[in-house]
Amino acid sequence: MSIFRKKNAKKGPMAEVWRKLKKNKWAMVSLFIIIFLILVALFAPLLCPYDYALQDYEHVLEVPSWAHPFGTDNFGRDIFSRVIFGSRYTVLIGFGCITVSAVVGIALGLIAGYYKKLDGLIMRSIDIVIGMPAMTLLMCLIAVMGISLRNMCIALCITHIPSFARVTRAQVLTLKNQEFIEASVALGANKKRIMLKHILPNALAPNIIEYSLGAGGVVLWSASLSFIGMGVQSPTPEWGLLISEGRQYLRTAPHMAIIPGLTIILLTFVLNYLGDGLRDAMDPRLNK
């Protein structure tokens, strides 16, 4: 049998995507930056040169220097340490929320695509979430649940579920009529096995694009919500909140707002770039 197989055939579709992605130099750079930022978030306490909450009234609103690479804020706190420690919130909120959304969304999409009876109910509920502008829905949900970090995360998860559910459902609908599914039904596999062993692995690929782009979206939304005071509360050094704190000192110490903004842009930019790279790698029309 093996002589009829193509060289890459048994590695599956993901290996093919990875092979193409590796050729995209900038997408790989983006991937490394993302991994680097995750590591920074995980080891933040070891990397901070100062305590992120330490106030030093002799060095207030200082511009970037060797002692304070990103300068200091209105309480004399080291912005470099605050940005590094803040990555724990921003990066982990971004990946944490999008992971929860992905798991719930993929499960809903799988059920909606496989069980016709539940399809209408699930997809119409998802249409309601999509129908409202994201910011309005987020504000509405947080207004009902109360302003806190946990509630912001729940609201962010809810707003990002639909894209995963829709993508997965579309995949399942095309997959479930294919011969290999028919074959496993004929072999007597039960529904759970077909869904989890045969359909799910084949429906995952497009979700990876959603995951990368969605993580960038969550980072932006969480920063925005913290900026208007509906997310993380002061004195937590979340990046959106750091910009918000810098707003009052825009005239005297613009670095307070500029630097956290650039870090947010770096993170969302590489996530979006990686998402675009993945999309290109998975696009069959670009197969050359």
Closest approach of other proteins to the CB of residue 251, in Å:
5
For the bound state, the minimum distance from the C-beta of residue 63 to other proteins, rounded and expressed in Å, comes to 15
Nearer to other proteins, 5 or 124 (CB): 124
Nearer to other proteins, 175 or 243 (CB): 243
Terminal CA-CA length for the chain:
27
Which residues 6+ apart lie within 8 Å of 74 measured at CB? 60, 61, 245, 248, 249, 253, 256
- Could you tell me the smallest distance in angstroms from the CB atom of residue 139 to other proteins? 6
What count of other Cβ atoms lies within 10 Å of the Cβ of residue 54?
Answer: 12
Half-sphere exposure of 34 (CA within 13 A, CB side): 22
Q: How far is the CB of 285 from other proteins (least distance, A)?
A: 9
- How far apart are CB 13 and other proteins at their closest, in Å? 23
What is d(CA 92, CA 99) in angstroms, rounded to the nearest whole number? Answer: 10
Site for other proteins, rule CB under 8 A: 124, 127-128, 131-137, 139-144, 146-147, 216, 220, 223-224, 227-230, 240, 243, 246-247, 250-251, 254, 257-258, 261, 264-265, 268-269, 271-273, 276
Write phi, then psi, for 43 (nearest 5 degrees): -105, 25
For other proteins, give the closer residue by CB, 55 or 125.
Answer: 125
Question: Virtual CA dihedral for 224, 95, 234, 268, nearest 10 degrees?
Answer: -40
In the bound state with other proteins, the residue whose beta carbon lies nearer, of 201 and 229, is 229
User: Chain-centre distance of CA 41, in angstroms?
Assistant: 15
CA dist., res. 94 & res. 50, Å (int): 25
In whole angstroms, give the CA distance from residue 108 to residue 120: 12
Nearer to other proteins by Cβ, of 56 and 280: the residue is 280
Contact 171, 112 (CB under 8 A): no
Min dist CB 230 to other proteins, Å, is 7
| Smaller CB separation from other proteins, 190 or 252 | 252
Amino acid in position 154? I
Q: How far is the CB of 155 from other proteins (least distance, A)?
A: 11
* Cβ closest to other proteins, residue 15 vs residue 228: 228
Minimum gap (Å) between residue 193 Cβ and other proteins: 34
Instruction: Pick between residue 156 and residue 223 the one whose CB is nearest to other proteins.
Output: 223
260 contact partners, CB below 8 Å, separation of at least 6: 79, 83, 86, 239, 240, 242, 243, 246
Cα–Cα–Cα angle for 15, 165, 264, rounded to 5 degrees: 75
Rg (CA), the chain: 23
